[in-house]
A and B are shown apart, each in its own frame.
Chain A
């Protein structure tokens, strides 16, 4: 019992700290939408780097990922490296920097607003916001599920799943409502630094008990020698490439990531973050995923439904430290969810409510409504998380694939002035239909000249169908743009930057 209250004390203390930071940020935040959503485009390198980084991290970093490494070997480190370290960094430049330049010039707050304005189309604006919210919802739900499970696991069931999820949801609503982007970015920075430190301490602790990396790997060599060889039936080249490409492209269109492209204080901030990406990704994912892998060699038994990392830590480290790591994992979930709530709410209020319901909405009233949106969104996902549809990774991957469908049409629009409204609409709608049909229609086999050909499969020959959707989106955007002419209210000069 003493141990339980110690663990709970650490977790709750951590939540209160986040709330305190939110309060400080509130004191310096003006009550206008641009400041609430974007911290007046004034974010510096360390904070931008960590707020984006922390936002990328999720339940997967501490639970799903190490579990996969425990079951299949550590190759997910490579997937992460290609995906977040390199591909995302390049997209950070190609999409992020371009959007930042356009945002500086035109004052946009969301992706949908930017596209709607460029193509003179409120319908496009609403469509992009609607699609984004559709995919965002399950992803926020996933974080709440992870938080609920983490607290249940930590307390050995003393806190039921629903209560854990409710606690995290309540705290997030509180500090996002209070603090806006500035508070979220500050807490993300603390949370990111906290996660990094905790993970490295955990590695040092476990390794010192088992004779260093050589000792841990030697144990693995006798229990699961196949984990050390690169690749397996699970980690095929098709799997590694599909996963890395789909997620990297998907990440850029996640509202909370995409909105960060607008918040940097200067281009130096963007440059430095770009350079530091590969290193930061290594620093976090190498230790977390290796811990999961080594656990397999150390004979750690993971009970059904539990996560490997907490089990490993409770074996090798004192209870208070295991609680700190759980707090770190909660930090990972909260730092993604809080940003998703904030951006989700801005998409809803700015791109759906304002244009379609109340065009006369003032900036300060918008900032208040946005807070209501945060609370409503979080409550909705919390209620949905109680019925727990699907497994963590499945739901998460679907969302990434869904967002990845938006990326190529947007990139075409950013770089090719010949893009027309009909073109981008066709690209976005066509790719979403293709992907959605594959997610929701069960796979069927069709007999084609004697061989069974799968239809509506999630993968074809190991390749994710999301890749096909992405290609279709790009082709439709370019093809239809070539066949149509731009309408009078389209303004292709909006995306021309520079010459200032």
Chain B
């Protein structure tokens, strides 16, 4: 995988993480599950996913974009 594609993948990943933190596709949806709105469950799960993606980023390319060579 070339560096450029890898960078592009990160940009897309982070954009999706930000963009879907709010479940726009559930707009106006009043359903609840286990006492909480379904959209809130989505958000809770999504924040967990964000945290996992952030972890992956710190383990891989965190230093790469700052020009730090020795990590």
Contact = CB atoms under 8 A, between A and B. Distances in A.
Given A497-B68, A500-B70, A271 B28 contact: no
Given A97-B66, A229-B29, A274-B58, A86 B35 contact: no
B22 interface: yes
Interface stretch (A34-42, A164-172, A279-287, A334-342): A279-287
A278 B40 CA distance: 14
A85 interface: yes
B10 to A, nearest CB: 11
Contacts of B46: 81
A81 B43 contact: yes
Please report whether the interface of chain A is mostly helix, strand, loop or mixed according to DSSP: helix
Given A78-B21, A90-B18, A230 B32 contact: no
Contacts of A90: 14, 18
A348 interface: no
B37 A86 contact: no
Interface string B1-36: 000000000000010011001111011111010111
Interface residues of A, number: 47
A344 interface: no
Contacts of B21: 78, 81-82, 85-86
Contacts of A74: 37, 40
Interface stretch (A133-141, A192-200, A212-220): A212-220
A271 B17 contact: no
Given A217-B35, A237-B24, A500-B70, A276 B29 contact: no
A290 B41 CA distance: 13
A87 interface: yes
Contact of B35 (A81, A213, A281, A282): A213
Contacts of B28: 229-231
A230 B26 contact: yes
Contacts of B68: 101, 497-498, 500
A90, A225, A240, A290: most-surrounded residue (chain B CB, <10 A): A90
Nearest to B49: A278
Interface string A267-311: 100011011111101100010001000000000000000000000
A90 B26 CA distance: 25
Most buried by B among A276, A278, A279, A290: A278
Interface in A214-246: 214-217, 221, 225-226, 228-231, 237, 240
Contact of A230 (B35, B37, B55): B37
Contacts of A226: 30
Contacts of A230: 23, 26-29, 37, 39
A82 B14 CA distance: 12
Interface of B: 14, 17-18, 21-24, 26-30, 32, 34-37, 39-40, 43-44, 46-48, 50-51, 54-55, 57-58, 62-63, 66-70
Given A276-B51, A497-B67, 16 more contacts: A74-B40, A78-B39, A82-B18, A82-B22, A86-B47, A89-B54, A98-B66, A212-B35, A213-B34, A217-B32, A229-B29, A230-B26, A278-B48, A281-B47, A497-B66, A499-B67
12 contacts: A81-B46, A86-B21, A86-B47, A212-B35, A213-B35, A217-B35, A278-B47, A282-B44, A497-B66, A497-B67, A498-B67, A498-B68
